[in-house]
Amino acid sequence: MMFIFTMQLFRVPLLVLVILGRAYAPISPGEIDSGWLTLATGGESQQSTSREKSGNPIQTLQTAQLNVEVSTPVSAANQPVQKKKGSHFLSPEHIESIRASWTPERRKRQAELARLQTFTRGPEYKAKIRASWTEERKAMQSQLSRARRLGKPHSNDVKMKLSKALTGKLKSQETKEKMRKSRLGKCKSEATKQKIAESLRRSKQMKKEMLQDPHQTLPKQK
């Protein structure tokens, strides 16, 4: 018990000495706060500069780049113009040559080309479309729309008239005959259809027998 009391007596003076030593200890240059020095002198202190030099090399490089950019400003007129896409740089002389190449005649040709390439048609095209809608075509279109709403089927004559009124194209009898003859070679004859049906019938019969007797093997078809 006496030993513990003696240790407590020595502990209090030691704590007081440590606090006083820290309070009156000399301040090293690296521990100086540069904030109040900047406000007092209007510039960075030498101690803060030496601390930055001995600090992180990446931060030192960034600080040096910022100092160079601030100290040596470059006018925007002397800098090359960078394009939005890629990393190609255009000099001011190149830009002026491009501007000079766009003469009024070239601008007019480009505008005419852009007008033809777009879907906005000119007045000539609109006048041509209006002229194509004759009274007969309007009557046929109204008849077709009404028949579609009512759901009535059309005869072949009406369909031909409607197709001619809608598209302006009607195939002649000679053209239809040629198309019919060209399709004749692609159709199967009755004998061929019967052979195919008979072959399918035999295959189905063999599959049924195979399911009834799993050990039986299917014969090879010739």
> According to the model, what pLDDT value does residue 119 have?
63
The predicted model gives 67-76 an average pLDDT of 50
Give CA angle at 38 (25, 48), nearest 5°.
55
Per-residue confidence at 51, pLDDT binned at 50, 70, 90? low
Which residues have a Cβ under 8 Å from the Cβ of 188 and sit 6 or more positions away? 196
> According to the model, what pLDDT value does residue 102 have?
92
Residue tagged 């030099």 (tokens): 53
Task: Look at residue 89 and give its three-state secondary structure.
Answer: strand
Residue type at 31 in one-letter notation: E
Checking phi first, is residue 138 left (phi over 0); if not, alpha (psi -120 to 50) or beta?
Answer: alpha
Per-residue confidence at 49, pLDDT binned at 50, 70, 90? low
The segment with the largest mean pLDDT, out of 51-55, 66-70, 147-151, 204-208, is: 204-208
Q: pTM here?
A: 0.19
pLDDT > 80? residue 86: no
pLDDT tens digits along 93-138: 888 999 999 999 999 988 888 877 766 667 887 888 888 888 988 8
pLDDT > 80? residue 180: no
Per-residue confidence at 17, pLDDT binned at 50, 70, 90? confident
Q: Could you tell me where the DSSP H helices lie in 56-172?
A: 57-71, 92-101, 104-117, 123-132, 135-150, 156-167
Domain residue spans in the chain?
A: 93-132, 134-167
- Residue 20 contacts residue 42 (beta carbons within 8 Å): no
> According to the model, what pLDDT value does residue 144 have?
79
To which H or E segment does residue 32 belong? none
pLDDT > 80? residue 141: yes
